[in-house]
Structure 1
Amino acid sequence: MLYTREKLLELEDRSLAPYAMRASATRGREFPEPESAYRTPFQKDRDRVLHTTAFRRLEYKTQVFVNYEGDYYRTRLTHTLEVAQVARSLARALGLNEDLAEVIAMAHDLGHPPFGHAGEQVLAGLMEDHGGFDHNRQSLRIVTWLERRYPGFRGLNLTWEVREGIVKHETVYDVPSAGEYEPELRPTLEAQVVNLADEIAYNAHDLDDGLRSGLLTPAQLTGVELLAALAGELEIDLARLGEFERRVLIRELLGWMITDVVAATDRALREAGVASLDDVRRHPAPLARYSAEGARRVAELRNFLYRNLYKHYHIVRQVAKARHVLERLFAAYTEMPEMLPPGVQEATREEGLFRAVCDYMAGMTDRYALDEYARLFDPYERGRM
């Protein structure tokens, strides 16, 4: 039996919750084009994101630890894959469109510059008088303009709902600027669960990487209520946490956060009487959420990571180095544009010098930025021929 696009859309209509986003109801693409015979529009979007240059570059962009510090730590790519997995789990349990949640998750960090949030802060400061910078808007810019793969248009020509989910991505550390994507309305519930999937993933894997690196010690975890409670249930001694026990703890932490969000979101939907996507969009607050107790416990974990990992002197040193590298590169490029590669020089004529430089630097991996710094400022480093 063939599952054609029409059959897949019919299955969505029958199986999804009434408040889910159906691919058959998409507002469509900016540039009309034929849809796939055996994929829904959101599945087609997912595949387009997967094959972008920007997606591949995430492999060598910082999550917490700079790329050269080791092969075992999460990168921006592995983070993205973990977010997609959590988002699919949340969407499936809530009767949402898994394909839409997955593609938003896969695209949510495409615009992240090298060196993680430190890199974003640097570019935001440098571009303050030149149109600004934030990675949500840059992700949208990548999929609507910078990627060039099709003869009839620039960008990927993704559906409206995917683009909306990218630009309205929101977590504690990310505040969206939705522009022309109906900023007065909430995004789909699929986009909302991606917001939480992002936080769930980085809370769990940053804790894991912090322990693996030695920047966090097992004894420090005893003061975190959620971790102490999980360890008690698992009969794990946090003060003597071995590698196997660490893996069990991280797995259970992920499961606990996912379960809490599913139960709390389901309760919020029922209490609000949500019966349609329009109800989701017009609700005054996000409907995807933790329980009150879950939010309190996760906030304590997040604050613990902020104080003990993200502000660890080793990480602070890497942030300072990243700032220095990016600030010097930006100054060199804008003061002497002749040093830019030909393609970027051409872009300056279309986009303006500062935006072209910003696009170029935002697309760099950690490794490329450091190599470029060496090429420009190390007198013993040969420039690329």
Structure 2
Amino acid sequence: MDSLDLYDDADRERLVPEPPKRVDAPVRTPFERDRARVVHAAASRRLAAKTQVMGPQSDDFVRNRLTHSLEVAQVARDLSRALGSQPDIAETAALAHDLGHPPFGHNGERVLAELSEDCGGFEGNAQTLRLLTRLEAKTFDIEGRSVGLNLTRATLDACTKYPWPREQADAPGGVHSDGSPREVRKFGVYDDDLRVFGWLREGAAAGGRRRCLEAQVMDLADDVAYSVHDVEDGVVAGRIALTRLDPAAVWATVRDWYVPEADDAELDAVLAGLRTQDSWPTSPYDASRRSLAALKNLTSDLIGRFCGAVQHATFAAGDGPFLRYAADLVVPRTTQLEIAVLKGIAAHYVMQADDRLAAMDRQRELVMELVAVLAHRGAEALQRPYADDWHAASDDAGRLRAVIDQVASLTDASAVEWHHRLRSPRA
């Protein structure tokens, strides 16, 4: 059976019904149309100038949010197809998973969360849902309200990494993939977006926090991609030498940031297992084409290793079908630890560097000052869509949300430019 046939009319439903396409238009499935809408969204283009780990301007090799999202999408698509679910859904969720990130990544998110307490907080995943269902202009309902890209229920549900509002979120702890501390509660919807959230979660257990399988695939693909690729970027940047690791120091970071319960013996065994990979380097990286090719082969092999282990474990846990709420993804303990070890290597050698921590301090100050000046100047300083939201707001909380939405939409470079322009005496 084609995986598409496993999804019913409710899965394919859109919040606003759409007429059939012209008879001479190319025939596409509803989920292929969803993917195209995310690919063509303005928010997707902005990801090219948003921080992943090291800033986009720091080197023309390192990943930015867009290249990271493309790599996550490839991993998600391949794993979804292997499981027999609809690959377009998982791929679209992966392409969209970082759309809500503000300038300077989790570092900027932390500032916006602090400044938006009076309007319901800020969280990158909740902002992604807001973009997909409100801010990214494509479709309006009969009452004249924007419903964003008007994606299908199954795709929107797959994009929801944290399917609960802020009041149900757990206390933050640990760190993000970019090394910044988790000080923001993880949630997936703002209170004023609960209407569409309730619609997209139809089919899930009432009030439950369970993610659909496609969202689980997206989340794992994100974990796999940044664990492997952050190490690759660090090696090329000269910050990581895989042939000269200091396990004791790395294990301290792994426990502090990711798996506090893992002991040295367990982590030693995990690293020994990774080193059995044929492509694990035995000589130092020297920036030659041969070294670059060997590093690329290592990243490919590690991705295959992780996804293969998850596929086998998931199949062993049940008969399927492996989609929506009929099954859950199974990630073996060893795979979780292997991913954590790679994250720990990148964290220890790249994310704790003094030059990076100083830059993060400057970024937080810039975002804080930018929000303050925009809140003071109001609609006349905002782009037209956000100025319209400011004028339509009925209270200060709504006007603050318009400012937060505007700042969150900016790239790293445009945030710097706006800050310079708006704080200039001539502005």
| TMscore range, shorter length | 0.7 to 0.9
The SS at the match of 2:326 is: helix
Q: Using the alignment, how far apart are the partners of 2:271 and 2:329 within structure 1?
A: 23
Q: Deviations over 1:132-158 (max 9, x none)?
A: 111111111111111122465621111
Q: Using the alignment, how far apart are the partners of 1:220 and 1:118 within structure 2?
A: 30
Give the C-alpha shift of residue 227 in structure 1: 5.5
More helix by share: 1
Q: For residue 135 of structure 1, what is the aligned residue in structure 2?
A: 124
Q: Does 1:125 align with 2:114?
A: yes
Aligned partner of 1:96 among 85, 103, 118: 85
Q: For residue 234 of structure 1, what is the aligned residue in structure 2?
A: 278
Q: Deviations over 1:9-39 (max 9, x none)?
A: xxxxx2339xx95265525111111244611
Q: For residue 303 of structure 1, what is the aligned residue in structure 2?
A: 344
Q: Does 1:345 align with 2:356?
A: no
Which one-letter code corresponds to 1:358 in the other structure? I
Q: Using the alignment, how far apart are the partners of 2:377 and 2:28 within structure 1?
A: 47
Q: For residue 8 of structure 1, what is the aligned residue in structure 2?
A: none
Residues 236 and 295 of structure 1, relative CA distance in 2, 3 Å threshold: closer
Which one-letter code corresponds to 1:349 in the other structure? H
The aligned runs of 1:274-293 (5 Å cut-off) are 274=320, 280=326, 287-293=328-334
Q: Using the alignment, how far apart are the partners of 1:326 and 1:67 within structure 2?
A: 17
Identity %: 36
Q: Deviations over 1:204-237 (max 9, x none)?
A: 1111111222232334546375565444442654
Q: For residue 170 of structure 2, what is the aligned residue in structure 1?
A: none
Work out whether residues 112 and 139 of structure 1, in 8 Å CA contact, stay in contact via their aligned partners in 2.
Answer: yes
The SS at the match of 2:57 is: helix
* TM-score where L is the length of structure 2: 0.76
Give the C-alpha shift of residue 46 in structure 1: 0.8
Work out whether residues 30 and 157 of structure 1, in 8 Å CA contact, stay in contact via their aligned partners in 2.
Answer: yes
Q: For residue 188 of structure 2, what is the aligned residue in structure 1?
A: 177
Give the C-alpha shift of residue 169 in structure 1: 5.0
Q: Using the alignment, how far apart are the partners of 1:172 and 1:191 within structure 2?
A: 21
Give the C-alpha shift of residue 301 in structure 1: 2.4
Work out whether residues 48 and 64 of structure 2, in 8 Å CA contact, stay in contact via their aligned partners in 1.
Answer: yes
Q: Does 1:363 align with 2:405?
A: no
The SS at the match of 2:99 is: coil
Work out whether residues 228 and 238 of structure 1, in 8 Å CA contact, stay in contact via their aligned partners in 2.
Answer: no
Q: For residue 376 of structure 1, what is the aligned residue in structure 2?
A: 422
What is the RMSD computed on CA atoms of the aligned residues?
A: 2.8
Work out whether residues 221 and 228 of structure 1, in 8 Å CA contact, stay in contact via their aligned partners in 2.
Answer: no
Residues 276 and 119 of structure 1, relative CA distance in 2, 3 Å threshold: closer
The aligned runs of 1:16-95 (5 Å cut-off) are 16=3, 22=7, 24-26=9-11, 28-36=13-21, 38-95=27-84
Work out whether residues 86 and 201 of structure 1, in 8 Å CA contact, stay in contact via their aligned partners in 2.
Answer: yes
Unaligned segments of structure 2, at least 5 residues = 164-173, 177-184, 248-266
Q: Using the alignment, how far apart are the partners of 2:244 and 2:390 within structure 1?
A: 50
Q: Using the alignment, how far apart are the partners of 1:136 and 1:278 within structure 2?
A: 19
Q: For residue 298 of structure 2, what is the aligned residue in structure 1?
A: 249
Aligned partner of 1:167 among 160, 170, 181: 160
Q: Using the alignment, how far apart are the partners of 1:339 and 1:220 within structure 2?
A: 55
Q: Does 1:112 align with 2:101?
A: yes
Q: Deviations over 1:149-205 (max 9, x none)?
A: 246562111111222222235898594436533540533312211110011011111
Q: Does 1:330 align with 2:323?
A: no
Work out whether residues 23 and 42 of structure 1, in 8 Å CA contact, stay in contact via their aligned partners in 2.
Answer: no
Q: Using the alignment, how far apart are the partners of 2:175 and 2:16 within structure 1?
A: 34
Residues 235 and 118 of structure 1, relative CA distance in 2, 3 Å threshold: closer
Which one-letter code corresponds to 1:252 in the other structure? D
Give the C-alpha shift of residue 68 in structure 1: 1.7
Residues 328 and 276 of structure 1, relative CA distance in 2, 3 Å threshold: closer
Give the C-alpha shift of residue 269 in structure 1: 2.9
Q: For residue 189 of structure 1, what is the aligned residue in structure 2?
A: 213
Q: Using the alignment, how far apart are the partners of 1:278 and 1:375 within structure 2?
A: 47
Residues 51 and 346 of structure 1, relative CA distance in 2, 3 Å threshold: same
Aligned partner of 1:201 among 205, 212, 225: 225
Q: Using the alignment, how far apart are the partners of 1:262 and 1:227 within structure 2?
A: 22
Which one-letter code corresponds to 1:177 in the other structure? G
Q: Deviations over 1:18-74 (max 9, x none)?
A: xx9526552511111124461111111111111111111111111111122122110
Comparing 174-183 and 35-44, the one that deviates more: 174-183
Residues 216 and 233 of structure 1, relative CA distance in 2, 3 Å threshold: closer
The SS at the match of 1:300 is: helix
Q: For residue 4 of structure 1, what is the aligned residue in structure 2?
A: none
Work out whether residues 29 and 159 of structure 1, in 8 Å CA contact, stay in contact via their aligned partners in 2.
Answer: yes
Work out whether residues 167 and 176 of structure 1, in 8 Å CA contact, stay in contact via their aligned partners in 2.
Answer: no
